[in-house]
């Protein structure tokens, strides 16, 4: 029986370029390649855990993780083919012809793979950065793979983007080098409001927000008067939010808008709405309430006055949900070790 197994192990399967591929060699190649895949998985898993715990050098560890995983698998494939009895040098011409054919058929895949390598080395776009694409997609880069990049939005939606799109198309990196950025929050007040009071109230609200960066000589919160509307003075609040808030632009914009509305209400500053005032100086010699009575609008006027004098909801009891959302820690967009 042992002799029969030995014969089976030496059984020829195919002869390629002077190299004989036996059943035993094929089994050895499969075992070596499988072992290389397992070793690559353990190495990348360990490096990933180390990267997620590292305070600094996460990008270098990500680069090491990817390159090590690829290198171990490629090395295992070469060793496996050699152990199978294939003479790789004698297959150079054949492999070159096959490579040309595969390259023509899979040129898109090769293009994306090379683009991914450039993204990893270039580091203008890195894992963890918050980016915005030309299509309007915004999110944090969770993974740069061999074919595509995975972007996770703040709504926990994973968007798969081909690597070449991040190289060829314009990409806005909101957190390049881990820094913050200045944002503009537009708002309007009614004509007649004191511009000084508007500025004071809005700046106080912005600086009181826990996600506003402390002011420096180069980074100060400001209020600009940017235009005159049909029924309003148009302002913008310019503020420097924290880097974590920058990664959640929709909630950040909503939180500051809510804070501005509360500040204007507390200061008694009117927020305008489109309106048209019709002024009648006299009607049939009558003015004021007598003129309204002559038009039959006396009851309507009384109802409007009663409605305007009705108590309103206390703004202090309203909850700024967007601000609460910004203060809630956001899950790390980078894949977890268990992925």
314 pLDDT more than 60: no
Highest mean pLDDT among 81-85, 164-168, 297-301: 164-168
Question: Which of helix, strand or coil describes residue 234?
Answer: strand
Which residue reads 């420096």 in tokens?
A: 216
> Would you say 196 and 240 are in contact if contact means Cβ atoms under 8 Å apart?
no
User: pLDDT for 252-273, tens place per residue?
Assistant: 999 999 999 999 999 999 888 7
Distance CA 245, CA 183 (A): 11
Highest mean pLDDT among 99-103, 328-332, 335-339: 328-332
pLDDT reported for residue 311: 47
Beginning with the edge strand found earlier in the chain, give each strand of the sheet holding 233-239 in spatial order: 183-189, 233-239, 222-228
pLDDT reported for residue 92: 58
Structure tokens at 246: 């920058």
Question: Which of helix, strand or coil describes residue 184?
Answer: strand
Per-residue pLDDT, averaged over 29-33, amounts to: 85
pLDDT reported for residue 5: 41
pLDDT reported for residue 257: 94
pLDDT reported for residue 59: 62
Structure tokens at 309: 């004098």
Long-range contacts of 31-34 (CB under 8 A, 24+ apart): 31/80, 32/76, 32/79, 32/80, 32/83, 33/76, 33/77, 33/80
Per-residue pLDDT, averaged over 136-151, amounts to: 86
Q: Please list, in sequence order, all residues whose beta carbon lies within 8 angstroms of the beta carbon of residue 228, skipping any fewer than 6 positions away.
A: 234
> Would you say 47 and 65 are in contact if contact means Cβ atoms under 8 Å apart?
yes
298 pLDDT more than 70: no
At 124, the pLDDT band (50, 70, 90 cuts) reads confident
> Would you say 320 and 255 are in contact if contact means Cβ atoms under 8 Å apart?
yes
Question: Which of helix, strand or coil describes residue 103?
Answer: helix
Distance CA 191, CA 275 (A): 12
pLDDT reported for residue 3: 46
Angle at Cα 298 formed by Cα 296 and Cα 303, nearest 5°?
A: 130
pLDDT reported for residue 308: 47
At 44, the pLDDT band (50, 70, 90 cuts) reads confident
User: pLDDT for 191-226, tens place per residue?
Assistant: 989 999 999 999 999 999 888 999 888 888 999 999
Q: Which helix (H) or strand (E) holds 183?
A: strand 183-189
**b/e per residue, 111-131, with b = 16+ CB within 10 A?**
ebbebbbebbeeeebbbbbbb
């Amino acid at each position: 029986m042992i002799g029969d197994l030995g014969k089976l192990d030496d059984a020829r399967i195919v002869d390629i370029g002077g190299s004989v591929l036996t059943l035993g060699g094929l089994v050895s190649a499969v075992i070596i390649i499988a072992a290389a895949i397992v070793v690559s998985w353990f190495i990348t898993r360990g490096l990933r855990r180390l990267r997620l715990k590292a305070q600094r050098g996460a990008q270098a560890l990500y680069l090491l993780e990817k390159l090590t995983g690829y290198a171990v698998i490629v090395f295992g494939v070469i060793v496996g083919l050699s152990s199978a009895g294939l003479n790789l040098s004698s297959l150079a011409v054949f492999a070159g012809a096959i490579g040309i054919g595969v390259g023509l058929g899979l040129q898109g895949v090769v293009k994306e793979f090379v683009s991914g390598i450039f993204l990893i080395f270039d580091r203008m776009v890195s894992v963890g950065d918050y980016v915005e694409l030309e299509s309007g997609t915004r999110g944090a880069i969770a993974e740069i793979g061999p074919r595509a990049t995975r972007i996770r939005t703040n709504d926990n939606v994973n968007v798969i983007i081909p690597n070449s799109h991040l190289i060829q198309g314009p990409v806005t990196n909101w957190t390049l080098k881990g820094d913050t950025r200045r944002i503009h929050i537009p708002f309007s007040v009614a004509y007649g409001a004191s511009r000084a009071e508007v500025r004071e109230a809005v700046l106080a609200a912005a600086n009181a927000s826990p996600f506003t960066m402390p002011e420096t000589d180069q980074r100060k919160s400001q209020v600009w008067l940017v235009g005159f509307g049909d029924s309003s003075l148009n302002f913008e609040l310019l503020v420097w939010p924290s880097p974590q808030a920058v990664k959640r632009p929709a909630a950040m914009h909503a939180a500051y808008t809510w804070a501005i509305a509360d500040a204007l209400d507390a200061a008694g500053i009117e927020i305008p709405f489109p309106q048209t005032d019709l002024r009648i100086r006299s009607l049939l010699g009558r003015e004021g309430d007598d003129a309204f009575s002559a038009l039959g609008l006396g009851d309507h006027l009384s109802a409007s006055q009663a409605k305007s004098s009705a108590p309103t909801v206390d703004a202090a009891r309203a909850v700024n949900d967007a601000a609460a959302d910004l203060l809630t820690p956001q899950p790390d967009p980078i894949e977890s070790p268990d992925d």
